[in-house]
Structures are given as C-alpha cells and as structure tokens.
Structure 1
Amino acid sequence: MSAPSFSLVGLGPIINRWKYFVAGAVALAALVSIVVALLLPNFYRSTAIFIPTNPQTADPDRLLEDNVEVRSKLELGGRAEDLDRAITIGESQPVAEQIIRKFDLYKHYKAGTPGDDASDNYVLSEFNSNLSIVHNERDAIELAFMDKDKNLAAAVANAMVHVIDSVNQQLTLENRRTVLDLYRQRYEYLSTSFERSRRELVGARRRYGIYGLEMQGRYLAKQLVETEAALRKAEASGGDVAGLKRVLRGLTRADGGNLLNLENYVQGTDSVTMFTTRVTDLQTRLIAARSAYETAELSIKGRISSVYLVQKAYPATKKAKPVRSLIVLGSVLLTFVLSVVFIALLELYRYNRPRVAQLA
C-alpha cells in the first residue's frame, strides 16, 4: 500500500480537534509576551548630523595663493575620503574608551570596575551596539546613540561629534605647526635681509651724497651748464676764470670739496638704484611673509572646526524600541505555527504507528 500524501487542507480538521490546545498555547504565549514586553525598558535614540570638511584647506600651507593673498576657507565638499575618515574615527576604540570614561558608562551599564577584561569587553560591546554612524544619501554623516536615558543618549551623541572633530584636527596639527615654523623662519630671514639692505642703502647715500636721484641729477646738470657758460664768458671777457674753474672742479671731481659732484653721482647712481630696488622688493616680501605668518598662527590657535554641524542631537520625545505590539504579535504567530507543526507531527505519528505494527 502507498503512503498517504500530505495536504494542507487536512490541517483544518486536525486543528479543529486540537483547537483547545492551540488556543491555550496561543493565549499563554500572548500573556507571557505581554508581560515580557511590559517589563522591557524603553530605549531612546538621539541623532546628530554633520558634514566633515577637508582639513587640508585649513592648513597654513594652503592659506597662501600666489604668496600675496591670504585665505582660510573651508570646503564642504563631502568628499568620500573625508566621510570615511570621520566614520573610521568615530568607530575607533580610543574614541569609545574616551566617551566611556567621560560618562562613566561602567557604572551606567553596571559592568563592574574598569581594568577587568570581562568588564571592559562588556562595556565596549554594549557601547558599540548602541552606536550607529552611517553615511546617508545626502553626503552627510548621521551619528546616533541609543540608551534608556534619553538625556544621556543626546549628550553622548554630541560628545562623539566633538571628539571626532578634535581627532580630525589632530591629524594635521603637527604638519600645521611645522609649516608655521617655516613661515616664522621665512619672516625672520626677510626681516634680517631687509634691515641689512636698508643699512647698506643709507651707507651708499651717505658715501656718494645721493638722496634723491632725479632731483639731484637735474640740479647737478643745471649747475654744470650754468658754470661752464659763465666760465666761457669769463675767458672771453677776462673775468674771474680761476674762481669759476674751482667751482667747476667742485661740481665734477670728488676731491673738489662739494658733497654733490658729478664723479660721486655717476659712481653712486648704480649702487643706490640697486639697493633701492632690493629694499623695495624685500619690503614687499616682508609684508606678505608677516601677514602669512600671522594668519597661519591664528589658524592654529583658533582651532578651526573640521566638521559642519547640521543638526545637534536632542533628547528623543518617543522611544525607539521595544515595539511591544510587534513582540506580542510575533510571539502569538510563532506559537501558533509551532503548535500546528507539533499537533500535525503528533497526528502523523499516531496514524503511522498501527501501520508499522501490522507490517511488523
């Protein structure tokens, strides 16, 4: 004889015969699940949303453009590497341990004393299970923390954003200090060079008696022309030729007694022009270097934030879990299915037992 085929239609009569058992099991499951759901504590979720910036745009070595204009703008590009870096920092163990110590979560989670491996592992596991850091579809980061205390959940989420910002800044802080030292050395070098060149210019002016190239050149040329003309007239008319020759010698020779003379003027023009150009160039570069150094120093001392906070975490107004109705409904359905499977297997066993005995 062939074995009877199994059909779901045949479950109806079976369930009807065992209806009191199934109903009792379902009712008991509903009662137990209701009690358990009511005893479960409420958990609240607080979420902070922020956009990480590119920390390189706040570095002193990126603040200069063409060595003239100083800028310090932050880019909110939401680059993939910036998002990944912020998420990696937030999920790192040092950050978790810092938050755990700050809020004394050993006591809050009733995990025992710090330093014990079991306690440490339990607190870290509990903390990580309640923490969520995700990159949303709008290229921002949503940092959520869940806890039975809604105020603590909001405080932890906000503290996590602050720690991520602080660690993100530390990644470039050493490089920024090195660049700042280079700016300081550059400024000091230009300051020394400017002062040395300025003294050389003053010395050249004193040596050659040149203080205004254009005006003194005009004056010297005018005096030479007038003296030479007077000398020619004196030679023709028998005037004071010797006196005019002394005057002309003083205007043309360095040993003639005049501070301003043609010989010194010609010799000193190139030197004074060179030193003047050098001092002007150094002055321009010195002003730019001083501005760059002051801006870089302000950038480091100011500790520009590396994240743009879109939404601060606030205490939740409604619980995130548990969903008590879902717990009760799931328990009832699971109990009903298991009850049906149990009575079906039991009926099948009862049906097959006589047949096995007859075959034996």
Structure 2
Amino acid sequence: MVLAAVVSIVVALLLPNIYKSTSVFFPTNPQTADPDRLLGNNENKLELGGRAEDLDRAITIGESQPVADFIIRKYNLYNHYGAGTPGDDAADNYVLHEFNSNLNIVHNERDAIELTFMDQDKFLAAKIANSMVEAIDSVNQQLTMENRRKLLGLYSQRYDSLKAGFERSRRQLIAARNRYGIFGFEMQGRYMVKQLIETEAALRKAEASGGDVAGLRRALRGLTKADGGNLINVESYVRGADSLTMFTSRVNNLQTRLIEAQAAYETARLGLTGRVSSVYVVQKAYPATKKTKPVRWLIVVGSVLLTFSLSVVVITLLELYRYNQRQPQGGLS
C-alpha cells in the first residue's frame, strides 16, 4: 500500500493539467433566419430555437468530420497532439480520435446545447469551443444558401423579362398615341366635345344669318374626320380608344409587376449576401480558471484502496490454499 501510494503520487504529479471550456447556445430554424423571408414578410420573425430537429441538426453538424477537419487544420492540431504529418492514415486517425475524445456536445435539460472542449492549453480550448459554434452556425446557414442562389437566378430572369416586356409595351403605347393623336383620355375627350358643340352651334347660327358657313364646315370636318387636317379629332379618338386603353392597362400592369419583381430581386440578393446568425449564443467559451482533471488526490486514494482490496483478496486466497495444504490426507488402510 505504501508502494502504491508512492507510485500513484509520482504518476499523478506527472499527469498534465486538463482544462475545459464550454459554450452554451440555442439553435434556430434556418428558415426563420433567412433574410429574404424576414424582409419579405413581417410575420416571419426571427424565433428562438428549441425544436428537436433544430437541436439534432446542430449536434449532428458539430460532430461531423468536415467540421472536425476544419478545426484541426485551423489550429494545426497535428503539431499540437504530436500526431505526425497530415495525409498519413495513422496520423489522421490519431488526431481525429484525440479531437473527438476532447469534444462533447450535449442537449441539456433547458433545450440548449452545451459544447465543451478540453485541452492542456486553456486558451486554445476556449478558442476551439468558440470556433466550433461559429462553424455550426456557418454550416447551418449553408443549408439554405444553394436554394437562395437558385431563387436569385429566377428572380433575375423574371425581372429581366418584365423589364423587356415593359419597354416594348411602352414603345407601343407611345407609337399608338402619336398615330391616333390621343395623349389624355379624359381631358382630350372633354376638349373635343366642347369644341364640337361650340363649332356646330356656330355653324347653325351662320347658316341662319348667312355667315362663314364654309369655314365652319371645314372646322367641323377637322374635328370629326381623320382626314380633316386636325391631329386631334373624334374619328381617330374613337378608333384608337380601345387600343390605347389596352396598351395603357398593359403598361400599368407591367409597371406594377416590374416594381414588385425588382423589390423581390433586391431582397433576394440581400438575403444571399446577408449573414444572419442561426444560433443564439448564451455563453461564450472562456479560458478556465481551474483544471478539470486530473484529480490527483482521487488517483492516490483510489490506487491505495484498490491495492488494499487486491491485497486482501490475494492474501485470503493464499491462506485458503495453505490451509488446504495442511489438512491430513485421509484414506482406507
């Protein structure tokens, strides 16, 4: 027992101190953190996570090998663990095993995730724990990034198509206005009716009093016929009213849709370049102020007690063996 105590004390003193750092965070639903949804609809608020699928997804991402490889390369853990040269199967397996054995990601009773990393360097442990949370956040955002790129392309195509259609319809509307001499339905209609009534009344008076009947007839023809010499006349107005109505309605409709498409495209582009965090970090990882292991007194006490127990067992078996050997051998004479 004394020898066990001495040996265990020496071994316990030679063991390095291990420190752990813990980060606590809540994952969110990636769809509620999508910027184009947030900007497009005020009802889609950024909600705090806690759903089982969000928790499982965050833990799965944190325990995945791509994330582990990223952290291993970022902090050069091959040299830190003394694993050897990257690319060697034995070295890769060793450093990955060491990394996973020091990492612990659990779902606690408050529906949050606790990510803990242990290392001899307390500052490195805190950095790796925080980097792990950032990596989980980044991968979580990437889950919707590809679909958002596809949507951005669709929004761009729709915007270009509507813009081309709007420009084409606008040119057709301008050409129709110049052709029929219609520049404003309401005011132009009132003007022609007023002029037509006044001219016709003047013609009737001239016919009764012997005035300039021929001039008034030419003025009346100019107001009513397309070949009368007037750009604005009733015949062209009637012929072009339906076409102008159709073109105006089409241009207005395309303009409204074009504005909506432009807003949707700009929102989608902002959503693609936006970096809205998909996790709520409740507690960042900080360098530990005291070691986690080894518990040296427990090692010494445990070694002594284990030695005592084994000694009792061995001595008991030995005494039983000796006792049996001392018993006289009985037999028939």
From 56, 65, 69, the equivalent of 1:93 is 65
Q: Bigger shift: 77-86 or 87-96?
A: 77-86
Deviations 1:81-107 (A, max 9, x none): 222222212212222122112211111
From 44, 52, 55, the equivalent of 1:80 is 52
Partner of 1:7 in structure 2? none
1:182 pairs with 2:157: no
Mapped to 1, the partners of 2:331 and 2:299 lie a distance apart of: 47
From 178, 184, 205, the equivalent of 1:233 is 205
Mapped to 2, the partners of 1:181 and 1:113 lie a distance apart of: 43
From the superposition, tell whether residues 204 and 70 of structure 1 become closer, same or farther in structure 2 (CA, over 3 Å): farther
1:40 pairs with 2:15: yes
1:344 pairs with 2:316: yes
1:334 pairs with 2:306: yes
Partner of 1:213 in structure 2? 185
Deviations 1:327-347 (A, max 9, x none): 222222222222222222223
From the superposition, tell whether residues 197 and 48 of structure 1 become closer, same or farther in structure 2 (CA, over 3 Å): same
Partner of 1:354 in structure 2? 326
Alignment of 1:98-137 (within 5 A): 98-137=70-109
Partner of 1:54 in structure 2? 29
From the superposition, tell whether residues 60 and 45 of structure 1 become closer, same or farther in structure 2 (CA, over 3 Å): closer
From the superposition, tell whether residues 89 and 327 of structure 1 become closer, same or farther in structure 2 (CA, over 3 Å): same
Tell me which amino acid in the other structure corresponds to 2:31: Q
Shift of the alpha carbon at 1:220?
0.9
Partner of 1:313 in structure 2? 285
Contact kept? 2:34, 2:276, Cα under 8 Å? no
Q: Secondary structure at the match of 2:117?
A: strand
For structure 1, which runs of at least 5 residues remain unmatched after alignment? 1-24
Tell me which amino acid in the other structure corresponds to 2:16: P
Contact kept? 1:63, 1:296, Cα under 8 Å? no
1:28 pairs with 2:3: yes
Contact kept? 1:59, 1:176, Cα under 8 Å? no
Shift of the alpha carbon at 1:239?
2.4
Partner of 2:271 in structure 1? 299
Mapped to 2, the partners of 1:318 and 1:356 lie a distance apart of: 64
1:168 pairs with 2:140: yes
Mapped to 2, the partners of 1:70 and 1:274 lie a distance apart of: 36
Count how many residue pairs are aligned between Structure 1 and Structure 2: 332
Shift of the alpha carbon at 1:185?
0.7
From the superposition, tell whether residues 303 and 198 of structure 1 become closer, same or farther in structure 2 (CA, over 3 Å): same
Contact kept? 1:64, 1:292, Cα under 8 Å? no
Deviations 1:60-98 (A, max 9, x none): 774675xxx588854333332222222212212222122
Mapped to 2, the partners of 1:353 and 1:359 lie a distance apart of: 16
Shift of the alpha carbon at 1:150?
0.3
Shift of the alpha carbon at 1:44?
0.4
Shift of the alpha carbon at 1:233?
2.1
Shift of the alpha carbon at 1:138?
2.3
Contact kept? 1:58, 1:299, Cα under 8 Å? no
From the superposition, tell whether residues 219 and 306 of structure 1 become closer, same or farther in structure 2 (CA, over 3 Å): same
Mapped to 2, the partners of 1:83 and 1:300 lie a distance apart of: 24
Contact kept? 2:28, 2:280, Cα under 8 Å? yes
Mapped to 2, the partners of 1:49 and 1:206 lie a distance apart of: 70
Shift of the alpha carbon at 1:141?
1.7
Deviations 1:95-125 (A, max 9, x none): 2122112211111111222222222211111
How high is the TM-score relative to the length of structure 1?
Answer: 0.85
From the superposition, tell whether residues 359 and 86 of structure 1 become closer, same or farther in structure 2 (CA, over 3 Å): farther
Q: Secondary structure at the match of 1:195?
A: helix
Q: Secondary structure at the match of 2:110?
A: coil
Shift of the alpha carbon at 1:261?
0.8
Shift of the alpha carbon at 1:212?
1.4
For structure 2, which runs of at least 5 residues remain unmatched after alignment? none
Mapped to 1, the partners of 2:164 and 2:71 lie a distance apart of: 49
Q: Bigger shift: 269-278 or 247-256?
A: 269-278
From 215, 225, 230, the equivalent of 1:243 is 215
Alignment of 1:141-290 (within 5 A): 141-290=113-262
Contact kept? 1:46, 1:154, Cα under 8 Å? yes
Contact kept? 1:70, 1:295, Cα under 8 Å? no
Mapped to 1, the partners of 2:251 and 2:38 lie a distance apart of: 26
